[in-house]
């Protein structure tokens, strides 16, 4: 055992950050979720290190593991909310909310039944495990979808579901642990408490987001967006924690994620993120990185190989059931009636739901709760989390290729390349003009380089114009135009529904316009159905 005399909390934090940076680079290099190298690092330098390198001990950080978890998870959820485009949410809110609510309940219930009847685990143990592993991980999803041509609805649903089901799982686990420690497990009380905390969190989060976002918007203070985001998080978290402690009415996890989503609407209208918004999101991304490093290193340091091996069989079987039975059932039931997804796409959504940050944090909470079977629950959650991450991390891209990757035709690839080059030239020209305006380059050099870039853009313009004469390209443009027209009609429908609910138009006017727009939507759907198959290219 290595004995380092007098190492302090500061040294432990340095070790955490350094390990996190190294782990991130390893994960990026071999394209796996960052969680895996962080867990392994935490284990190898933690109290149970198999190589005697015990230089990291979470208990010596100066704060309890419970405090760490309760502080860091809201930070992550706030960023997830603020990073999620509300314009996308408006389009596909049904599957997102259904998966994050009904999907979590179905997953937890089925999982609890499997653990109880198949492995003879007590009901409390199986319910806690089922609830904990219902949370999916944004980071893991982003790893497997990066660089793939997938439908926007699929990626957005997976990311949006994760942001909301993370909050829901935290609410359920918090309530369940409180009830279990109190010794009185009443299903009616749990249901009522969940409803109070979840709806209260939505109400408070929405109100805080509107107030702070409204101040930024009305006073035109977007240059101070970062500071207002910090203010929003601290105010929402502090107020929701106070209300939860005093009245048991609001859950901080739900409040912060909703406040982040609403706040984004004020600084990124119509989905367009300004420079100040990018800087703010970048800041919070770094905060989340540090939070994840602490959570997973701490979790890794709590790993006991003996404990994992003793529960390995149960954990692996439960992981397989969760991945191939429970999750698909929850996804298919939750997305019933949503015509945008094919059966194959639903299967991909089912299999791509890797566990991660929240499942790990919940495992920490359960371990330190001192309830019966806490260590068994911790080990099984950890096994399921690790196994699902390895499965998705190494097999996710193959699953996407098999189930739902959009096949890109040669003409589309050519158009994509030309368009990308054109956009790159536009950015280069803007940068050149900026440097010239700031007096950083000579006028002669500016004119010379500007002419060169403009000539290249003109050449690309001609190539793109010629490309539009292609039969397949015409089909692609027509398809895209029809999809956009259909989306515009849906926006009109939402607008008149809003006007009617506010009493600004009569029910007669609303019904008349609604029939008109629905008819237009039906005609567009017919045209899309006719155009669904691309034109056959002539063999040369």
d(CA 104, CA 170): 11
**Nearest-angstrom CA–CA distance, 488 and 272:** 17
Whether the per-residue pLDDT at 292 is higher than 90: the answer is: no
pLDDT for position 540: 44
Same domain as 381, residue 488: no
The domain boundary, picked from 403, 430, 447, lies at 403
Please report, for the domain that includes residue 61, its CATH number: 1.20.1530.20
What integer is the mean pLDDT of 71-75?
86
* pLDDT digits 0-9 by tens, 384-408: 888 887 787 777 777 877 787 656 6
In a domain, 136, yes or no: yes
What confidence tier does 533 reach under pLDDT thresholds 50, 70, 90? low
What average pLDDT does this structure show over 420-428? 86
Q: Is the pTM of this model over 0.75?
A: no
Q: What's the confidence (pLDDT) of residue 62?
A: 59
Task: State whether 56 and 195 are in the same domain.
Answer: yes
Same domain, 91 and 210: yes
Boundary of a domain, candidates 368, 403, 438: 403
Residue 363 has pLDDT above 80, yes or no: yes
Q: What is the pLDDT of residues 427-483, one digit of tens each?
A: 888 888 888 888 888 888 989 999 999 999 888 888 888 877 777 777 777 877 887
Q: Taking a C-beta distance cutoff of 8 angstroms, is the pair 126, 114 a contact?
A: yes
Q: Tell me: the pLDDT tens digits for 136-174? A: 877 667 766 666 667 777 888 888 888 788 888 888 888
Is 195 domain-assigned? yes
Residue the block writes with tokens 């690092």: 41
On whether residue 475 sits in a domain, the answer given is no
What average pLDDT does the segment 36-43 reach?
A: 81
Q: What pLDDT score does 7 carry?
A: 47
The distance of Cα 111 from the centroid of its chain, to the nearest Å, equals 23
pLDDT at 93 over 90: no
The owner of tokens 């009830």 is: 179
Q: Is residue 11 part of a domain?
A: no
pLDDT range class, residue 1, cuts 50, 70, 90: very low
35-45 and 9-30 helices cross at what angle (nearest 10)? 140
Lowest-pLDDT choice from 63-67, 82-86, 271-275, 486-490: 63-67
Domain for residue 3, yes or no?
Answer: no
Question: What is the per-residue pLDDT across 167-200, written as a single tens digit (0 to 9) for each?
Answer: 888 888 888 888 787 766 677 777 888 888 888 9
The verdict on residue 449 lying in a domain is yes
Q: Which residues of 114-153 are buried (b: 16+ CB within 10 A; e: fewer)?
A: bbbeebebeebbbbbbbbbbbbbbbbbbebbbeeeebeeb
| Residue % of the chain over a pLDDT of 90 | 11
Number of H helices, E strands in the chain: 22, 0
Question: 81 is written with which tokens?
Answer: 């909310």
Residue 478 lies in a domain: no
pLDDT tens-digit readout, 258-277:
999 999 888 876 666 777 88
Domain termination site, one of 381, 403, 425? 403
Tens digits of residue pLDDT in 490-511: 788 888 888 888 888 898 898 8
**Are residues 356 and 319 part of one domain?**
yes
What separation in angstroms does the CA of 302 have from each of 367, 382, 438? Answer: 9, 10, 55
Within this chain, do residues 392 and 430 fall inside the same structural domain, yes or no?
A: no
Q: Domain count for the chain, please give it.
A: 3
- Tell whether 43 and 153 lie within a shared domain: yes
> Does the pLDDT value for residue 5 go beyond 60?
no
Please indicate, yes or no, if residue 5 is contained in any of the structural domains: no
The mean pLDDT of the chain is 81
Co-location of 343 and 435 in the same domain: no
C-alpha–C-alpha distance, residues 216 and 229, integer Å:
10
Residues 319 and 440 in one domain: no
> What DSSP character marks residue 409?
P
Q: In terms of domains, do 374 and 503 share one?
A: no
- Say whether both 442 and 490 belong to one domain: no
- Considering the domain architecture, whether residues 362 and 412 belong to the same structural domain is answered as no
Same domain, yes or no: 432 and 496: no
Write down the pLDDT at residue 329: 92
pLDDT of 280 strictly over 50: yes
Q: What integer pLDDT is reported at residue 177 of this predicted model?
A: 85
Q: Of all helices (H) and strands (E), which one includes residue 301?
A: helix 275-301
E strand segments, 373-530: none
What CA–CA distance (Å, rounded) separates 195 from 187? 12
Q: Which domain holds residue 329?
A: 19-403
């Amino acid at each position: 055992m290595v004995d380092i005399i007098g190492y302090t909390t500061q040294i432990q934090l340095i070790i955490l950050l350094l390990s996190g940076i190294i782990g991130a680079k390893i994960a990026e290099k071999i394209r796996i979720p960052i969680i895996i190298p962080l867990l392994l690092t935490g284990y190898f330098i933690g109290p149970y290190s198999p190589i005697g390198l015990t230089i990291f001990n979470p208990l010596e950080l100066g704060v309890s593991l419970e405090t760490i978890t309760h502080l860091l998870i809201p930070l992550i959820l706030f960023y997830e909310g603020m990073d999620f485009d509300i314009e996308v949410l408006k389009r596909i809110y049904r599957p997102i909310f259904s998966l994050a609510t009904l999907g979590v309940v179905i997953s937890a219930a089925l999982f609890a039944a499997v653990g109880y009847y198949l492995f003879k685990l007590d009901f409390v143990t199986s319910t806690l495990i089922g609830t904990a592993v219902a949370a999916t991980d944004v980071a893991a999803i982003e790893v497997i979808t990066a660089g793939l041509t997938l439908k926007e609805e699929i990626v957005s649903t997976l990311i949006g579901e994760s942001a909301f089901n993370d909050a829901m799982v935290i609410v359920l686990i918090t309530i369940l642990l409180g009830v279990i420690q109190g010794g009185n497990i009443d299903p009616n009380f749990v249901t009522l408490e969940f409803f109070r905390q979840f709806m209260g969190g939505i109400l408070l989060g929405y109100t805080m987001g509107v107030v702070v976002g409204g101040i930024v918007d009305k006073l035109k203070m977007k240059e101070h967006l970062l500071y207002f985001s910090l203010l929003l998080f601290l105010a929402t978290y502090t107020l929701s924690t106070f209300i939860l402690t005093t009245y048991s009415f609001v859950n901080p996890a739900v409040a912060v994620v909703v406040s982040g989503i609403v706040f984004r609407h004020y600084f990124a209208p119509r989905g367009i993120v300004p420079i100040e918004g990018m800087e703010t999101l970048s800041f919070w991304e770094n905060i989340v990185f540090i939070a994840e490093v602490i959570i997973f290193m701490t979790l890794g340091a709590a790993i006991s190989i003996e404990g994992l091996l003793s529960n390995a069989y149960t954990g692996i079987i439960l992981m397989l059931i969760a991945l191939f039975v429970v999750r698909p059932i929850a996804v298919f039931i939750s997305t019933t009636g949503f015509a945008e997804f094919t059966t194959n796409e639903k299967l991909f959504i089912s299999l791509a739901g890797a566990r991660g940050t929240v499942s790990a944090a919940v495992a920490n909470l359960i371990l330190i709760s001192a309830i019966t079977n806490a260590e068994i629950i911790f080990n099984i959650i950890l096994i399921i989390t690790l196994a699902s991450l390895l499965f998705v991390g190494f097999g996710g891209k193959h699953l996407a290729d098999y189930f739902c990757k959009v096949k890109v035709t040669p003409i589309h690839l050519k158009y994509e390349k030309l368009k990308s080059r054109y956009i790159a030239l536009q950015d280069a020209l803007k940068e050149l003009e900026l440097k010239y305006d700031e007096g950083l380059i000579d006028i002669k050099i500016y004119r010379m380089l500007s002419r060169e870039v403009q000539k290249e853009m003109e050449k690309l313009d001609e190539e793109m114009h010629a490309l539009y004469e292609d039969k397949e390209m015409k089909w692609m443009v027509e398809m895209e135009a029809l999809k956009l027209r259909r989306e515009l009609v849906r926006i009109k429908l939402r607008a008149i529904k809003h006007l009617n609910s506010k009493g600004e138009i009569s029910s007669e006017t609303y019904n008349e316009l609604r029939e008109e727009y629905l008819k237009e939507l039906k005609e567009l759907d017919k045209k899309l159905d006719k155009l669904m198959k691309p034109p056959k290219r002539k063999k040369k």
